[in-house]
Chains A and B, each alone.
Chain A
Amino acid sequence: QLQLQESGPGLVKPSETLSLTCTVSGDSISSSIYYWGWTRQAPGKGLEWIGSIYYSGASYYNPSLKSRVTISVDTSRNQISLRMTSMTAADTGVYYCMRDRRTDGGNSVRMLDPWGQGMLVTVSS
């Protein structure tokens, strides 16, 4: 059964850099039809996609966050990582790791499934 587990510091100081890791078990991160990505949710708010990465390293980012975000992949550890710089209080929220299915052609699809349980990140001094 596929599982995704986020890990990292739950508290980050303003202006510092957030680093989170997502460990995937039950599937290979090198699977050819899947990307792997991050979405976040501010307290009491909706969902915001951050970005996704393919095992080859090809990546896509939300333009609103692109200047501050780097997503990387480590196939040997079956992990992806998120790095977000210049954190502010507005970045406080739950950060989710998820599998991003992208297929094209006759059965073209884009969907995010499944999701990790999420990690609460608080930006505060």
Chain B
Amino acid sequence: EIVLTQSPGTLSLSPGQRATLSCRASQSVSGSYLAWYQQKPGQAPRLLIYSTSTRATGIPDRFSGSGSGTDFTLTISRLEPEDSAVYYCQQYGYSLYTFGPGTKVDIK
């Protein structure tokens, strides 16, 4: 099983700032199988990015993804108050989806 770790655990930033979220895998992950989700309190997760860097339908271009191998990054270029949420990375490997523990983004 491929284990994902995310850092930092919590990110506290101001509107307009840039957020950089890291996702590290215990072994190499296919870039086609790496995705990011946003989850707000009381809501279901929402797909943001798939295949490492492709934005899902309706996702603003301030969200971007990059990376390869074992290191992947979600960047939010200009934080808005509604970006306050927990962000999860996800990979698919060995016929199994696994998720990272999440990064909480607080907008001050």
Contact = CB atoms under 8 A, between A and B. Distances in A.
Interface of A: 39, 46-49, 60, 62-63, 96, 108-118
Given A111-B47, A115-B46, A46 B88 contact: yes
B35 A111 contact: yes
Contact of A49 (B30, B44, B47, B99): B99
Contact of B32 (A49, A96, A109): A109
Contact of A108 (B32, B56, B90, B98): B32
Contacts, number: 62
Contacts of B67: none
B29 to A, nearest CB: 10
Contact of A117 (B33, B37, B44, B90): B44
B51 A47 contact: no
B34 to A, nearest CB: 9
Contacts of A49: 96-99
Contacts of A39: 97
